[in-house]
Amino acid sequence: MESLAEKAADARGLEGSTGRGFLSADRLFAILFTSGTTGTPKGVELTLGNFAASARASAENLRGGADQRWLACLPFFHVGGLAMLNRAAWYGAALVVHSRFEPDAVIASMRADEITHLSLVENALEQTLSAAAQKRFPPTLRAVLIGGGPVSAGVLQRAREAGLPALQTYGLTEATSQVTTERIGQADGETAGRPLQGVSVQLADRTGIVRAPGQVGGIEVRGPTVMRGYWSDADSTALALRGGWLHTGDVGALDERGRLTVLARRTDLIISGGENVYPAEVERVLAEHPNVADIAVVSRGDSRWGQVPVAAVVPRGERPMTAELARWSRSRLAPYKVPTRWLVFQALPRSATGKIDRLAVREMIERLLEEEIATEP
């Protein structure tokens, strides 16, 4: 029986195939569930052609194929992990799989397995740098892709000083992972790089007017890596795929060299350890508690996870115990979505349209936490 790698080796020029066989470009290959701006899970339909285009574009950007040795410590149910697996199969590269991210194991594998490439989120990069201490990384390492959100300048500086070739990248499930990535030898940590081969990126305002270089706008993507649509969700598909472009909902800017700077990842999105936490999803769960009259979930900076969710609660009658709310959340949400702190208020600020003013909520939480620190013995 032919392996996936053998089938892939016979599939040169797959993107142009329109047949109905196993290797037809339009064949549905995976449905990966991701949350939209409302937190409602959507099944992203990705074709064999999407993954083939992504693999070929990544190989061109990273200047290599079969000679690469990837270390996979991202889960394969996320597009980053699955795209890595398919890249390795597609051009016959080696893939060393770890069941989870552990910095000491990653560092050891870099040397023992002569790793050339791996992908990490920012907090994993930071943990790897801390675990390495004064050790130098092996010369076989060519590139470390850093995704999951903008990376702080301090962490990138530490990576450069340690000799770790970190490349910022921007991507999303709907575009089969990478959209833009810095290039080896050209990375300066200032942007997420230029679009991959065959992929186009433009910035537009809410009326659809394309923004000039340096101007902020909504990130739109076009190319062979863009999804077929959302599974059984024609309305969401029509909203996301308009005018030949994927409207990501993210916000950024392009410079004169066509390099992308990502300013915000979807409305109110919290990225905690590389995982997406949508406040609306958490708020819906907490609002079901009988003693919660009003709720707002916002992000707070965290040295380990980058960001963590924090809840502002208005009680209904009897004040809810934070331990009770934590148990309620843990039984209904993934662990990384459970708020790390619970702050009680008499009312939450709202805008003129009645929406929660999240910036004001965040400021209220910071003031309260500062007061707690000030009164500690």
pLDDT digits (tens, 9 = 90+) for 159-184: 888 888 999 999 999 999 999 999 98
User: What's the gap between Cα 42 and its chain centre?
Assistant: 15
pTM of the model as a whole: 0.73
* Inter-residue contact 283 to 348 (CB < 8 Å): no
Output the pLDDT for position 355.
64
What angle separates helix 279-287 from helix 322-330, to the nearest 10 degrees?
Answer: 110
Q: In the CATH scheme, what is the homologous superfamily, with its name and number, of domain 4-264?
A: ANL, N-terminal domain (3.40.50.12780)
CATH 3.40.50.12780 domain span(s) along the chain? 4-264
- End-to-end alpha-carbon separation of the chain, Å? 70
CA distance 8 to 318: 62
* Inter-residue contact 272 to 306 (CB < 8 Å): yes
Output the pLDDT for position 320.
63
* Inter-residue contact 32 to 50 (CB < 8 Å): no
pLDDT digits (tens, 9 = 90+) for 39-82: 577 999 999 999 999 999 999 999 878 899 999 998 888 899 99
Output the pLDDT for position 18.
46
Output the pLDDT for position 351.
61
CA distance 346 to 367: 15
Output the pLDDT for position 88.
92
14: number of Cβ within 10 Å = 21
Q: Which residues of the chain have pLDDT under 70?
A: 1-22, 35-39, 134, 149-150, 264-265, 267, 318-320, 351-355, 373-377
* Inter-residue contact 322 to 342 (CB < 8 Å): yes
* Inter-residue contact 295 to 329 (CB < 8 Å): no
In CATH, the number for domain 270-375 is 3.30.300.30
Strand order in the sheet with 41-47: 28-35, 41-47, 229-230
Half-sphere exposure of 329 (CA within 13 A, CB side): 28
Output the pLDDT for position 141.
93
**DSSP H helical segments within the chain, as ranges?**
4-9, 48-62, 79-90, 103-112, 122-132, 153-161, 234-240, 279-287, 322-330, 358-375
| Strand pairing category for 166-172 and 143-147 | parallel
Output the pLDDT for position 1.
40
CATH 3.30.300.30 domain span(s) along the chain? 270-375
Tokens 């070739």 label which residue?
Answer: 165
Nearest by Cα to 158 from 178, 203, 179, 128: 128
Output the pLDDT for position 71.
96
Output the pLDDT for position 16.
47
